[in-house]
Every structure is written in C-alpha cells, then in structure tokens.
Structure 1
Amino acid sequence: MSTILHVTLITEAFPPEINGVANTLGRLCDGLRLRGHRVELIRPRQSEDAGLVAADDLMLCRGWPIPGYPGLQWGQSSMHKLLRRWTRQRPDVLYIATEGPLGLSALRAARRLGIAVVSGFHTNFQQYTHEYGFGFVTRLLTHYLRWFHNRSQITVVPSLSQKMELERRGFERVELLSRGVDSQLFHPSKRSAALRESWGLSVDDIAVLHVGRLAPEKNLGLLKTSFDALQAAHPRQTLKLIIVGDGPQRTTLEQQLPNAIFCGTQRGDILATHYASGDLFVFPSLTETFGNVVLEALASGLGVIAYDQAAAAQHIRHGHNGALAMPGDEEAFIDAARWLLEESETLRRVRLNARQHASRQGWAAIIDLFERQLRSACAMSNKALPMGQLL
C-alpha cells in the first residue's frame, strides 16, 4: 500500500475565487484528500474569510491587493512563520502554485529544511506585463521566474506548448500536468429554453458565447470583430453575443458592444446552464497557460473557435470537434468562426464531437499523475541539486 503524503499547497488563488488557477487547485486538493493524503493549505486571507480561523491544515497570512484584480490578495513573505510551522510538523512535499513573496518565502524555507518542492507554472505573468504597460520588466520577470522554478525538483505546466516554451527559455525539469473537466456538471442537457428566451433567442437562433475574465490580456477586441463578421456573413440569421464574466474591461466592452448581453460572474450549475444554452464559443485569448473554459465549452457541446495553443491545441482537432487559427492570425480566426455557421450540419457534427471528446477528459487521471509527480519530487529531494542552484 502506498504511503500517505503530507502535502502543503501554497497559493494566492483558491476557491471560492473564480479563475482557472483557483478551480484547478481546488480539484487537485480535493482529489488528494479523497485518496487519503493530508493536504495543508497556506494562502492570503481573502474578503470571504471573515470569521475563518487558522487550523492544523490551514494557515492564513496577510496580503496586499493585486492591481487589476479587486478582492484578491498578494501574500506577504512569511518565511519565519513557515520555518517554525514546518519544524513542528514537517510536510513531505510542497506544491507552490504562485511565485510572489509568499511562494518565494515558502521556497526558501523548504530549501533550508530540505523539503521537496513541486512548483506550478499557472500564469503567463511575463506576457501580461505587455498588456498592462510594463513591457520593460518582461525580461527581468522571465529571469526571476526561471530562477524560481529551477529551484524546485519539478515544475508542472498544463500544456505541451507551454512546456516547450519554458524549456526553450532555460527552465529545467518541466513536466506536463494537464487539466480535466467535470463532464457531468458541464453537459448539453443543461440547455435552457427559458434562459435563451430571456436572451431574445428562439430554437434556431445562434448564441455566440464567451466566458472568462474581462481583462486586457484576454484579447477581447477580437470578440467584436468576430461577431460583426458573423452578422455580416449571416444577415438573415438572428445572432446574439452573450458574455459571462467580469473584470476591468467590462465597462469598455459594454460601450463597444451595446447589443451584447453581459451576464456577470456565474458559478456551478448556473454557469453550466449558460454554457449549454450557447451554440458557438469564441475564445480569442493569446496568453493562456491552459484555458479551462475551453474544456468546459467542449463538454457543454459548443462549437469552439480558438487559437491553436494551450488547451485548444491539445483538445481541438480543426474541423472535427472545433475550429482553430494560428496564434495571432485574426483573419483566420474570423474565417474559422464563419466556417462553423456555413452549414447547420457542420455545427451539429462539431458540437457532437466536442462533447464526445470532453467526456473522456476527467480529473481522475490528472490527479493520479499529480500524485506520482509529488512522490517523484520526494525521491529527488534526497539528491543534491547543482551548487549553482543553492539560494
């Protein structure tokens, strides 16, 4: 029988926050606990934590607001607290999901105590700097991220394209840990005629859906361009743009898209109903490490249009279960969207294939692999890292 692991997860994002990182970490945490492992969580205190107290398996630290992400906190350095805590109760392995001051202090404490570390590359911060007007720090940030991740036994990434990109930039010991989807929650049977009617759509009309954070790095200007092109190509067809999510660009988008329906943030079954009530899913982002919403849309039986990278590259075969364009080629992206609406049979077939593919992408196999990677890191930690990697 395999030994039970004491795993400590360090992160700035965790449910009930709504983002891909939080969703993934919640799934990994729950999956390990279902397998009998002890999972300790260390994260900043969030606005939802009023009255929540620390416990043996939970440490809340102080934090600072993250610019552009209202309600989220950036965890402060807590090295001395972590050293005391882990000296009393030593974990077998850490999973550090974020590279800020909290993650760095956890890395340093683990190195001092000889605790194995697996790090996760969840967010393309070095790409986001361009979108937020800080392009001058991109090289410095890339250097820091490489330095940070090369001090863990293993760095896990969610997509093959991300793995290749990091290895090209000198990241070492990079392994793939993809993502799964709850194909019972996200299911075509959740389609709601009443919801579609509230959008002003009948059975044969087309709901063009987008789900995600409304932020500059998501390339959302292409939403309007694509939707306008679809309307021009199908003037007799009733189409409606449905946007689920919130963020700093919402006001701008509402001005640019006065006829779109903005549904705000949705969760759980209500989110699944919104997905299933759509027809096309338009995902123009170029900065994803994965893009959980792509799998959720496929599982909901939508015709997905995306750039050929991250989750879309792994899970969509162009013309079979979705439509792809080369990254950055906006005309090809628009052409892919047009193609899906040219023939009703094309869209029907693609949507059926999308559902069939996504229904086989469960979380169980992902969590099995994650458990093996944690055990591998424990074994590797007994071997000395090269001298150049010492803190």
Structure 2
Amino acid sequence: MTRRHTRIMNIAQPSGQCFALVTETYPPQINGVSNTLGKLCEGLLGRNHRVQLIRPAQPGEKPGSTQSGNLLERCVRGLPIPGYPGLQWGLPAARKLKSLWSRQRPDAVYLATEGPLGWSALRLARRMKIPVISGFHTNFQQYSNHFHLGLFHEPALRYLRWFHNQTRQTLVASSTQQRELNRLGVQNLSLLGRGVDCTHFHPTHRSSSLREQWGANSDDIVLLHVGRLSPEKNPELLIDSWNKLRAAQQAKGTRLHMVIVGDGPSARELRKRMPDAVFTGALTGNALACAYASADIFVFPSLTETFGNVVTEAMASGLAVCAFDTAAAHQHIQDRYSGCLAPPSHDQLFTDNLSWLVQDAEGRRSIRLHARHRACQLDWQAIVQRFERCLLQAALGQSIPVQAVPSK
C-alpha cells in the first residue's frame, strides 16, 4: 500500500481529533446559522471527536468554561446586536483562547464568524500555527444596503475578503454564494451544503385544529412565511405580494390566509400593514413542524440568504415554495416542478408565481410531492462527513480540493 493510500485511509477512519468551533450564535438561539452549527458540532461529537465550542455567553449565562463529555464550551463576553434580541457580537478573546489552546491545542479551527471574536481567533491560530478553515454563513456585506449604511459596503467587502483569504479554505452553503464570493476575490471556496431532518419536518404533522386556530377550513389555502422579521429579509415584497394576491383572490371567492412565524425588528411594522395575517412569534420543535405541515404554500422573498434552511424545511414538510432563484432555492428547486422560482429582484414574476400556485390546485399538489422527495435526499450525515474531512485535511496539512459545484 502506498503512503498516499495510507493517508487517505487515516482521513476516512479518524481516531478522534480535537477541533475548535468559533461562532457567535448557537442553539437554543433561533436562526439558520445556529441550527447549522448545532448540527455540525453534534455530528463531530458523534464521530468521536473532541470539540471546543467558543461562543459569546447567551442571556442568563456567565463567561467561563464547562465540560460535558467530549464537548468543552468556552463562553466569552459579548455585546448585544441592536434590533436582534439575544444575539451578540463576541468580543476579542485572544488571551483566554491562548490559555486554552496552550493547554489543549486543537488540531484545526473552524471560524463561523468574522466579527471581533473570529478576528482574534484567526490571528491567534495563525501565530500558533494551528490550521484554520472558515465558513461564510451571513451576507453582512449586503445588510448595509438595508440599514442605510451604504458607506460601509466597500470596507465590509475588503475586510471579508481579507479575513477569509487568511484561512486555508472557506466553506459556503450554495453554488450561488460560491460564484458571488469568487467574483469578489475570495479564494479556496468549497461547497458545504445543508441537510434537513425529514422525520421532524414531515407532512404527517398537518393539524386541522391548528388550521382552525388560524381561521382556515380544509378547503382554504394557507400561505406561510418563516424567518427573522427584519429589513434585509425583503418584508416589503411579502407585504406587497400578499395585498395584491388577497385582493385578486377575494374577488374570485378564494379564501386565503397568511401565517407569519418569527420575530425581529420589522415585526411591529408587519403587524400594522398586514392586520389580517396571523403572527405566531418564533416557534421551535414540534410547534414549528406542525406550522409548516399545516400550511399549503411557503412564501420566501429574501435575497440575502447564504442558504436559507427554512426553504428545505418547508420542502420536507410538503409545501410548495415560492422564492427567488438563489441560495437553497436555486440549489434544490426545479421551477414549476418542485417549487416556483423568480430571477432575483423580479418582484412581479415572484407575485405571479405565487398567484399561479394559489390558482392551480393540481400543479400545487404535484409540486408539493416533488418538493418532499427532493428534500429527503438532503442528509445531515453526509454533510457532517464532508465537514469532518475538510477539518482532517487541514489538520494533516494536506491540500484541500475545491469541490466543483454544478449550476443546479
């Protein structure tokens, strides 16, 4: 057996390494990044690795370390992010990390955040010659346009490019994100998709009693939106498309209902401008799974997603998704077959697609079946295995092949 084959076998059958994950959000916080990091951490632990989870202390927690089996959690100080209750910017923690890593040196570090905490971890890891890979989880450079911070757009781009190019590899969630970051000059990009729990998110969780609470009978059509209610999620199109659709369908006698799951800085404005919608607040667990399964159409107008876990959760629940052709929707939806797609920023086509889904019962039924089938192919175990392989290759000092990503 050649030396090369021996090294490949060592990667495929790890004996248990130590990996540090640096993130600013983690369960029980409710967002896509938190969900992803929770799954990746859980997966590494399940594959016999030791994990150092470095994150800001959440409300009610104190900074410090706790050990549970192979998981060491190191909570550092943070500052609240305005408008996002419960979320924090992690403050630089180089001294604390140096103390930890001098005693328990990780084999590789994964940075899921580019903020002050991630910056300090990156600088320290490079000084200590610990291999680092990163993940691009949030389009912060796009958020500046939605918060009237246009002056910060170019500096944010330069910083993000510098940050990720300091790491051995940057993992992205979708092919659209990969192409965009490549255009911006970020190097060594590779795809790490997202899975979905198709047992938890399942059409059998449909509840007639929940629909009744929403005011919907069995023949009514329920539109659902799940996500953070904030300016970068394009709530204006959600409002506009709902108002146009409701007016048109009422004239035809179709009973429509809109249910909005989530919270955020735009919640008050949405409640004011969509007084006939049902607002549930943030939901988790079985309550969220039942909400998905009890609706008929999923409405997702966001243009700033790196992936959009809610899209695949809706598909797994058997919903017809109306979205823009980007991120998870681009990756996993075939237009008019397993969902409806509009080119980014083509608002009228987005609204037209939503209207078609409402009016064409047979087309909607077919799409829901195909959406569920596609979602069931997205296995978290395969995602964790690829993540593990990237970390092991970094730890062993091997070159990391960039995964080719098809357009669909």
Q: Same fold (TM over 0.5)?
A: yes
Question: Counterpart in 1 of 2:272?
Answer: 255
How far apart in 2 are the matches of 1:3 and 1:118?
21
SS at match of 1:162: helix
CA contact (8 A) 1:114 1:381 kept: no
- Say if 1:116 and 1:381, in contact at 8 Å, map to a contact too: no
Partner in structure 2 of residue 388 of structure 1? none
Q: Measure, in 1, the Cα distance between the counterparts of 2:120 and 2:398.
A: 18
Match for 1:172: what amino acid? Q
Structure 1 position 52, deviation (Å): 7.8
Change beyond 3 A, Cα 1:376–1:248: same
- Separation in structure 2 between the aligned mates of residue 207 and residue 52 of structure 1, nearest angstrom: 46
1:192-341 equivalent positions in 2, closer than 5 A? 192-235=207-250, 236-341=253-358
Q: CA deviation at 1:66?
A: 1.0
Percent identity, please: 51
Q: Is the 8 A contact 1:208 1:281 kept in 2?
A: yes
**Residue type of the alignment partner of 1:216:** P
Counterpart of 2:41 (choices 25, 29, 34) is 29
Deviation per residue, 1:284-305 (Å, 9 max, x gap): 0010000000000000000100
Q: Distance in 2 between matches of 1:52 and 1:81?
A: 10
**d(CA) in 1 for partners of 2:15, 2:329:** 36
Per the alignment, residue 15 of structure 1 pairs with 27
Per-residue deviation, 1:54 = 3.2
Shift of 1:50: 5.8
**Whole-angstrom CA distance in 1 between matches of 2:398 and 2:123:** 14
- Whole-Å Cα distance in 2 between the matches of residues 64 and 270 of structure 1? 30
What secondary structure, in the 3-state scheme, does the structure 1 residue paired with 2:244 have? helix
Whichever residue aligns with residue 230 of structure 1, its letter is L
Aligned residues: 383
- For residue 381 of structure 1, report the CA deviation from its aligned partner: 7.1
- C-alpha offsets along residues 347-387 of structure 1, whole Å, 9 cap, x if unaligned? 1111111111111112011111111111122233799xxxx
**Alignment map for 1:89-128 (pairs within 5 Å):** 89-128=104-143
Structure 2 residue aligned with 1:43: 55
Measured on the aligned residues, the alpha-carbon RMSD in Å equals 1.5
Mapped to 1, the partners of 2:63 and 2:115 lie a distance apart of 26
Contact kept in structure 2, 1:153 and 1:380, CA below 8 Å? no
1:75 paired with 2:87, answer no
CA distance in 1, matches of 2:225, 2:313: 11
Deviation sequence 1:132-170 (CA, Å, 0-9, x none): 111111100110011000011110000001011111111
Q: Does 1:5 align with 2:17?
A: yes
Amino acid aligned to 1:7: F
In the alignment, the residues of structure 2 paired with residue 69 and residue 136 of structure 1 have an alpha-carbon distance, to the nearest angstrom, of: 22
Once the two structures are overlaid, the 10-residue window that deviates more, 219-228 or 251-260, is 219-228
Structure-1 separation of matches of 2:399 and 2:240: 54
State the one-letter code of the partner of 1:135. G
Deviations along 1:331-352, whole A, 9 cap, x unmatched? 0101111111222111111111
Q: Select 1:63's aligned residue among 78, 85, 88.
A: 78
With over 3 angstroms needed to count, the CA separation of the structure-2 counterparts of 1:199 and 1:50, relative to structure 1, is farther
Paired with 2:221 and 2:358, the residues of 1 have a C-alpha distance of: 9
Q: Distance in 2 between matches of 1:51 and 1:175?
A: 34
Corresponding position of 2:174? 159
- Give the counterpart of 2:190 among 175, 198, 202: 175
Partners of 1:232 and 1:253 in 2: CA distance: 18
2: CA distance, partners of 1:348 / 1:117: 46
1:143 and 2:158 equivalent? yes
Which deviates the most, 2-11 or 115-124?
2-11
For 1:130 and 1:267, the matched residues in 2 are separated by 30
Amino acid at match of 1:142: L
In the alignment, is the contact (CA less than 8 A) between 2:65 and 2:72 conserved in 1?
no
Q: Hey, what's the Cα distance between the residues in 2 that align with 1:225 and 1:141?
A: 31
Q: Determine the structure 2 residue equivalent to 1:386.
A: none
Amino acid of the structure 2 residue aligned with 1:359: C
The one-letter code of the counterpart of 2:116 is P
Q: Is the 8 A contact 2:393 2:399 kept in 1?
A: no
Change in Cα spacing, 1:145 to 1:299, as seen in structure 2 (3 Å) is same
Q: Which runs of 5+ in 1 are unaligned?
A: 384-391
Letter in 2 for 1:302: L
Whole-angstrom distance in 2 between the partners of 1:276 and 1:368: 29
Inter-partner Cα distance in structure 2 for 1:45 and 1:342: 48
Counterpart residue type for residue 319 of structure 1: R
Cα deviation code 1:15-54 (max 9, x no counterpart) = 0000000000000000111111111101111114269853
